[in-house]
Structure 1
């Protein structure tokens, strides 16, 4: 193998600029969980969903600070899985790696399912699986060319989403200040307390809202996959993570408040985007179509990020491994994990089968399963950070430290465990959570058998 081939098989090209990373981080905060899933959360929790977003956002900021410290501590590693292998053992890394990869596949399936729902706003008779099928094929072609092309595409999508959400909040504020009415009446903060009060659905409703809110944030940690291809990873990654609270307040809390001051919570739709519903209520000509275009771009953007990450994760899991499977996917072609991208895209394309089998509830089921698996993965990621801090001398730690270690690590870990228990208790999420735990146990058994055969 010559020098060029060696480089192509082990190293990514650092082609993502600071602007790419910052916009990917901003745009990655806004996805289907916000544009479509928020309707489900509002119906379950009422106006108190605002408080849920703040609670979940705080703990995910601590998660990101912990992961950011891990990433910056060793930029030669390709993904979080290599840190898990180092600090929690190869078996745990194997299990988490494949569970994480499955998570990303199901996350992209959820995005593709939502995409079909969005297109029905314009084409009511279009089969919901068609838009996703075409989108994945196009995104695969883009990701096979270069990471920079991916970054440019995400940059464009991020600009669209950010400008739209900011303009949406400003428009609603203007309607409130000027006393304009919509088809639902006056735009007013009183909508947050009418129809049963802020906790209109009670304690059970408040707890039921957590699943979809957590799903809204799923993928927030994908920013870490860009570190291997960033031109100045220490600066860009730390800056992007520190801006997480600002993004949560602006893009989630203010956006949801804007929806609820226009539409009474009990009239928010769960079958279409509440953003489309809100703008349609203002009477602005073609406003609904405009925002529908934006939510479609958001779903495509999220899928693009997930496909990018899934291909790199599969490469990381199989890198330096033996056997035909590992040699096939643990190798880069033109400094890109092309085989991992192709396999991931093919599996995501199976989403139409779930849509056909489950029907209109496909998005809810897939999002619930994805949330369940991510909660397990986030727990393992936090444990790997705790192990890193306990085994690394103080003078070898990075300057980007997790604040309040180990207290905030353990507090966040307890929160995730409580969410796992909650999903097991709630009937509508129980099957999905049990499925996630079953997949984890199966992967654990496979890891043990594989290790035993290798030893023999």
Structure 2
């Protein structure tokens, strides 16, 4: 990176996020609603074979992160992945991708808001589901408007709570397994993984149906790349986070799900509340359900915090240096923070209650499925960007942090994501959401094309 680029970049965001911030933001960012709530749907759809699905998806997302990591390290002056898409796939594709990516993060925030209402009903069954999320987003917006470091400190604390809880949860179930402990569902043992239909209890169709929610669980793993512009030592911390975090996440998810299934038969796992709360409540530990519910709520708050952070920086990046009132409004920093972009992103997330009113109890599943669908499109574009970067960059100019087994790893990962898009179009439960995501992509493409033609005139 040239000195000119460095000075331009340093004059923007303030580098206040430490190595510890980056590591825990990256790890904690994906331990949210997908794990604490969505895993129930995954288990009921696929049965015990959901464990295999998490391993498969985790491997491909690790490869995606290695591709993205190589891009980030190649030019630390870039604010987001969208900047790389603009450079290697063209400005129009970058603009379309940017807005699709931004809408995806806003959708994730809406999903977390919906989940918060479900969690709070554990204590307050008559509380309207939209109230907790509405208040949470308002408070988190205020915190994000203060400083990036405050966001980092808050996310750091949330991540520790989540990580410690998951580890304690796994250790508790392991203890019950070793000592022959029993719960309200019976003995804690491995038989739950093979009884009631076996490991592939729901057959091939059930196995394939489980992929959507599992992919949703991992959405946000690439958040680490969005923190590069505010990291104190991005060249070092980004490499470390990308190498270590995805593997840790796979470990967390797989062990946590195995722990749940050791206690609860797969066909009795809750889908309208957190399986973690259900599992601990089954152990008979006093107030265990309330304690884990508090942690689950903190996880949703943490994820929402990350999504507000990401959405704000993405909108800023898309509109940065652009012409027109829209771009000038959201493409500028105030006190080294994208304040206007953060405010608009949070306001849009606050629209989630209207979807809850319209769709009802299926709001979370629809929003999460739509967000998953949009992320699949974005991930495909990111891989195409990496492929283009490698083709256009001389061997001697490549970084030492390269995608393993290129180009085969890129093409296999790209094929996997394309197959997932096709799968979601085939499955009736996910078809509407996938079509919605594709329509959004087509509408954005059309609008950008019209705008480009007007500029030419």
Task: Work out the number of aligned pairs and report it.
Answer: 451
Tell me how far apart the structure 1 counterparts of residues 250 and 370 of structure 2 sit (CA, whole Å).
26
Tell me how far 1:234 sits from its aligned partner: 1.1
Task: State the partner residue of 2:54.
Answer: 53
The answer for the alignment partner of 2:260 in structure 1 is 259
Q: Secondary structure at the match of 2:118?
A: helix
Correspondence for 2:299 = 298
**Correspondence 1:229 to 2:230:** yes
Q: Tell me if the contact between 1:9 and 1:333 (Cα under 8 Å) persists in the aligned partners.
A: no
Range 129-138 or range 248-257, more displaced: 248-257
1:172-192 alpha-carbon deviations (Å, 9 max, x no partner):
000000001000000001110
Q: Does 1:33 align with 2:23?
A: no
Partner of 1:370: 371
Q: CA RMSD in A?
A: 1.1
What's the CA shift string for 1:58-104, capped at 9, x where partnerless? 00000000001101111111111110000000110010000000000
Number of the residue aligned with 1:125: 126
Q: Displacement, 1:451?
A: 0.6
Q: CA deviation at 1:9?
A: 11
* CA distance, structure 1, for counterparts of residue 8 and residue 115 of structure 2: 39
Q: Counterparts of 1:245 and 1:221 in 2: how far apart (Å)?
A: 9
- 1:235-272 deviation per Cα after TM superposition (whole angstroms, max 9, x unaligned): 11111111134323331000000000000000000000
How far apart, in 1, do the equivalents of 2:151 and 2:355 lie? Answer: 28
Distance verdict in 2 for CA 1:300–1:294, change over 3 Å: same
Contact 1:10 1:332 in 2 (8 A): no
1-side partners of 2:31 and 2:440: how far apart?
Answer: 28
> Which moves more between the two structures, 261-270 or 246-255?
246-255
Q: What runs of 5+ residues in structure 1 fail to find an aligned partner? A: 1-5
Alpha carbons of structure 1 residues 336 and 148: separation in structure 2 relative to 1, 3 Å: same
- Give the Å deviation of 1:223: 1.1
Q: 1:7 to 1:241 in 2, by over 3 A?
A: closer
TM-score (normalised: structure 1) = 0.98
List structure 1 runs of 4+ shifted beyond 3 angstroms: 6-10
Match for residue 165 of structure 1?
166
Distance 1:55 1:159 in 2: 26
Report deviation, 1:10: 5.5
Contact 2:260 2:279 in 1 (8 A): yes
CA distance in structure 1 between the partners assigned to 2:249 and 2:45 by the alignment? 21
Equivalent residue for 2:67? 66
Q: Is the 8 A contact 1:101 1:314 kept in 2?
A: yes
Whether the aligned pair in 1 keeps the contact of 2:110 and 2:349 (CA below 8 Å) is: yes
The aligned runs of 1:273-284 (5 Å cut-off) are: 273-284=274-285
* In structure 2, distance between residues paired with 1:237 and 1:115: 31
- Cα shift readout 1:105-149 (whole Å, capped 9, x = no counterpart): 101000010000000000000000000010011000000000000
- In the TM superposition, 1:54-203 aligns within 5 A as 54-203=55-204
Q: Distance in 1 between matches of 2:87 and 2:246?
A: 30
Provide the rounded CA distance (Å) in 2 between the counterparts of 1:453 and 1:29: 41
Give me the whole-angstrom Cα distance separating, in 2, the residues matched to 1:331 and 1:431.
36
Normalising by structure 2, report the TM-score.
Answer: 0.97
Q: How far off its partner does 1:7 sit?
A: 7.6
Q: Distance in 2 between matches of 1:399 and 1:44?
A: 42
Label 1:8 to 1:85 Cα distance change in 2 as closer, same or farther (>3 A): closer
* Pairwise CA distance, 1:29: 2.5
Q: Deviations over 1:332-362 (max 9, x none)?
A: 0000000000000000000000011111110
SS in 2 for 1:331: coil
Within 5 A, what are the aligned runs for 1:243-392?
243-392=244-393
- State the match for 2:414 in structure 1: 413
Q: What is the CA-CA distance between 1:399 and the residue it aligns to?
A: 1.0
Check the 8 A contact 1:172/1:258 in 2, yes or no.
yes
Report the equivalent of 1:424.
Answer: 425
Counterpart-to-counterpart distance in 1, 2:401 and 2:202? 41
* Structure 2 CA distance for partners of 1:85 and 1:27, relative to 1, 3 Å: same
In structure 2, distance between residues paired with 1:288 and 1:42: 20
Partner of 1:206: 207
User: How far 1:8 moved relative to its partner?
Assistant: 10
Counterparts of 2:365 and 2:159, CA distance in 1: 25
Q: What residue is the counterpart of 1:43 in the other structure?
A: 44
Distance across 1 between alignment mates of 2:9 and 2:33: 35
